[in-house]
């Protein structure tokens, strides 16, 4: 299917891109990797009059280390997946990237683009919630920073205004005693998950001091289950503790039925993934990046 007609812009700087967004507003969309936007346009689910291609903006292509990892809007999934800095300082990001689509998609798609798209069944929004990432949002009015918990507002909906650009995402540095895992169930590898979990657990000294359980594919946005996380604090990282957390997850989540899975099946998967993910995360504690 062919895309609808549009006006194409390829700015060389962030300032030029922001000027274009300010000028065209609701009639414009930012094009980075295009792995989500172009199919949406082909299906006529979105028909922007202006595409602003940011692929020529060099300042958005960097991965930088600064008390964690900051990823620019033009860093492709494959680049972040191969990055030693990401693996060392943001291991949950590194764990998630192999699950994103297929190799061809990761070669073109961008990490920040996936976050801005805010698909509730995608991995990266859940990773942002679990790591408490922060978003740098730029516009001609200046830059502002938004926490991940405030950025994702609903199904394909974020705190981004039409004239704004999500220029960078910062993932805080993980502690040496933190283990991470991303686990999911999908019909085929590369498909969107019927249910998935991005999790981390800090168990230095033999007891759990912090935990994050961020689920995707079970609601309009990725969601954390705070009561299950709290149930783990102060306990040793054992199968019994993980099973108790899984019971809370199953009782708390309220997914919907759809053509891919029933709500009951998703709740069952979520509990299973809680036990599996926490065990896998624990096994990575102290393993060199």
Cβ atoms of 95 and 180 within 8 Å: the answer is: yes
| Count of structural domains, the chain | 3
Pick the most confident of 33-37, 104-108, 271-275. 271-275
Same domain, 96 and 128: yes
Burial 21-30 (b: 16+ CB within 10 A, else e): beebeeebbb
More confident residue, 194 or 289: 194
Q: Mean of the pLDDT values across residues 31-46?
A: 82
The helix/strand/coil state of 241 is helix
pLDDT band at 1 (very low <50, low <70, confident <90, very high): low
CA distance readout (Å), 186 to 45, 102, 208 = 24, 13, 30
Same domain, 91 and 117: yes
User: Considering the domain boundaries, does residue 232 fall inside one?
Assistant: yes
Q: Mean of the pLDDT values across residues 254-262?
A: 91
Q: Mean of the pLDDT values across residues 274-282?
A: 97
Output the pTM of the full model.
0.94
Cβ atoms of 21 and 139 within 8 Å: the answer is: yes
Query: The CATH number of the domain where 25 resides is what?
Result: 3.30.43.10
pLDDT digits (tens, 9 = 90+) for 41-96: 887 877 889 999 999 999 999 999 999 999 999 999 999 999 999 999 999 999 99
CA distance 13 to 281: 40
Query: The CATH number of the domain where 92 resides is what?
Result: 3.30.465.10
* Domain encompassing residue 206: 180-283
Q: Mean of the pLDDT values across residues 243-269?
A: 95
């Amino acid at each position: 299917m062919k895309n609808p007609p549009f006006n194409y812009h390829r700015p060389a700087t962030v300032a030029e891109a922001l000027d274009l967004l300010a000028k065209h507003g609701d009639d414009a969309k930012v094009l980075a990797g295009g792995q989500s936007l172009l199919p949406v346009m082909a299906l006529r689910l979105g028909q922007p009059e202006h595409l602003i291609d940011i692929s020529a903006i060099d300042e958005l292509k960097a991965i930088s280390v600064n008390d964690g990892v900051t990823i620019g809007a033009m860093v492709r999934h494959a680049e972040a997946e191969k990055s030693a800095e990401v693996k060392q300082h943001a291991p949950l990001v590194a764990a998630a990237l192999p699950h994103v689509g297929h190799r061809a998609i990761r070669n073109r798609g961008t990490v920040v683009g996936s976050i801005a798209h805010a698909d509730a069944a995608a991995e990266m929004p859940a990773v942002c919630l679990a790591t408490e990432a922060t978003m740098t949002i730029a516009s001609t009015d200046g830059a502002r920073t938004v926490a991940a918990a405030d950025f994702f507002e609903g199904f394909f909906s974020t705190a981004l205004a039409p004239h704004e650009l999500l220029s960078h995402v910062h993932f805080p540095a993980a502690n040496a005693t933190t283990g991470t895992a991303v686990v999911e169930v999908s019909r085929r590898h590369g498909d969107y998950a019927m249910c998935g979990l991005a999790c981390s657990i800090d168990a230095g000294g033999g007891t759990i001091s912090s935990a994050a359980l961020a689920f995707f594919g079970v609601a309009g946005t990725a969601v954390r289950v705070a009561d299950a996380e709290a149930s783990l604090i102060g306990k040793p990282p054992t199968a019994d503790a993980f099973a108790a957390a899984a019971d809370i997850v199953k009782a708390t989540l309220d997914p919907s039925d759809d053509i891919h899975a029933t709500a009951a099946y998703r709740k069952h998967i979520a509990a299973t993934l809680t036990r599996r993910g926490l065990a896998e995360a624990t096994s990575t504690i102290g393993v060199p990046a």
